[in-house]
Structure 1
Amino acid sequence: MAGEELISGRAASFGRRAADYAQHRPDYPVAAVEWALAPVAAERPRVLDLAAGTGKLTAMIAALGLDVVAVEPDDAMRAELSALLPEVTALSGAAERIPLPDASVDAVLVGQALHWFDHERALPEIGRVLRRGGVLAGLWLDDDTSVEWVAGMDRIYTAHTPGDESRGMVLPVELGPFEPQEQAEFPHRQRRTAETLVATAATHSKLLTMPEPERGQALDRMLAYLKSRPETAEGEFDFPMRAVVLRAIRS
């Protein structure tokens, strides 16, 4: 499997571990979500959480008291979202075919998913449902490898998952009706144990699509490393991350 087929396979891998994703994936820092929405915050915006997954970002938008609609293509992921947030409208759809009318939302937020989109189709479609002056923002969580033990964990992960055919942290605004993008970063932490941090890693697409026994060997190496470190060997600890946010205004 290569190129776009590999990307598509990885993007579709999450549903079969939807419950694990809901349990182990981190949320986002409130400050990052607020910064993403700042250009429209005074208007009590209606927000679309696009590729909403199990509702990690949806829940935070709802907690801010905002009107939010979630769109998610995977049935299993969307079922987890609806179980967690029954009051939120959750629709089947994708970035390339959003089931909403023209200019019907004030903001489109995309958590940890914009790199999976077919950008040439998705950016004009996002521009269609977003009213003029509205905001598009992509949010990503990344390990804070400035911390020495986190860098060691990351080296083990990348040794077992070389290369990356995804599109990375990008907001290709030139493909849609958007003004130049802005970027900000925010520190974040997730309370973990060695076992639950490995369980979180196991929900990443590269490991979800890795064949056995390689997958089990990679996870075992990560656990052995965490058990060897004084910071992570016993009990709970803070896993340091950073949230990267890219936003652009609909022109």
Structure 2
Amino acid sequence: MTTAHRTRARSFDTAAALYAANRPAYPPALFDAVEELAARPLRGARVADVGAGTGIATGLLHARGARVLAVEPGEAMAAQFRRAHPDVPLVRGDGDRLPLATGAFDLLTYAQAWHWTDPQRSVPEARRVLRPGGALALWWNDLDPRVPWIAGQEARLRDFFRVTGDAAQDAFRLLPAGLGFATRKVPWSRRVPLGTHLANLSSHSAFLTLGEERTRAFVAAERERLLAPGGPARADGTVEEAYVVSLAVAVLPASP
């Protein structure tokens, strides 16, 4: 992991409340797909949610009846998690050095977190803590660039951050080789106030490491564009955010 990548990974601790208030959740269909691809129900399963953040995925896993433990490296994110989910156990750690017992879990989940790990370390750690026949589930929740206004926004972001290439690269390119992942795309949407959409945008690591002044300037200009005639903002000040969750599940052999 480069210094810049490590800095971005740690940046969420500076905006834990912003993250908790504005990041999207996940649709029930995602957890249906996890159960299908892992070939077991979540209810009663021993699950470790790694890189749990403020507990968006962890809380939903808990609501499905999983016996879930959260793993989170950030102090402020962990504090936000504990306020939101006081009944769910949490330990401090990260995917490269899991503070978990060997062979103790049925399912290991990474909700928008796998890309912050070093696969040379996180893959062996995942294999270690999963029981035989256990499953590793990774997913990424991305705005859907097939929607024209979202594609336009992504183009502006790419230009603003001087990113070359396709901003809508497939999340599955991040999958480690050799584990035999089964994949699924889960589309969904949410209607939110425009302010929530923009706050969600500014809670991403690229903006958190950019600085307040430039972030405010971009967000202000984006607000004007989205509110302009013909823009996606409706008369009530809301926008419809379309998402696609990219899910990948690898099931380990039933015997070592």
State whether TM-score is above 0.5: yes
* Separation in 2, partners of 1:83, 1:212: 26
1:94 pairs with 2:98: no
* Separation in 2, partners of 1:92, 1:37: 27
Say which of 5, 21, 45 aligns to 1:23: 21
Amino acid aligned to 1:223: R
Give yes or no for contact 1:73–1:92 (8 Å, CA) kept in 2. yes
Matches within 5 A, 1:137-216: 137-163=137-163, 169=172, 170-174=174-178, 178=179, 180-216=180-216
Structure 1 residue runs without a partner (length 5+): none
Instruction: Judge which range, 36-45 or 151-160, deviates more.
Output: 36-45
How far off is 1:99 after superposition? 1.2
Matches within 5 A, 1:112-131: 112-131=112-131
Aligned length: 245
1:11 pairs with 2:6: no
* Separation in 1, partners of 2:35, 2:110: 12
Query: How high is the sequence identity, in percent, across the aligned residues?
Result: 31
Amino acid aligned to 2:4: L
Aligned to 1:237: 239
* Separation in 1, partners of 2:158, 2:195: 19
Give yes or no for contact 1:51–1:95 (8 Å, CA) kept in 2. yes
Give yes or no for contact 2:74–2:92 (8 Å, CA) kept in 1. yes
* Separation in 2, partners of 1:67, 1:223: 41
Structure 2 residue runs without a partner (length 5+): 165-169
Give yes or no for contact 1:144–1:150 (8 Å, CA) kept in 2. yes
Give yes or no for contact 2:140–2:171 (8 Å, CA) kept in 1. no
TM-score (norm 1): 0.91
1:248 pairs with 2:246: no
Amino acid aligned to 2:250: A
What secondary structure sits across from 1:146 in the alignment? coil
TM-score (norm 2): 0.89
Amino acid aligned to 1:46: R
Moved over 4 A (4+): none
Aligned to 1:106: 106
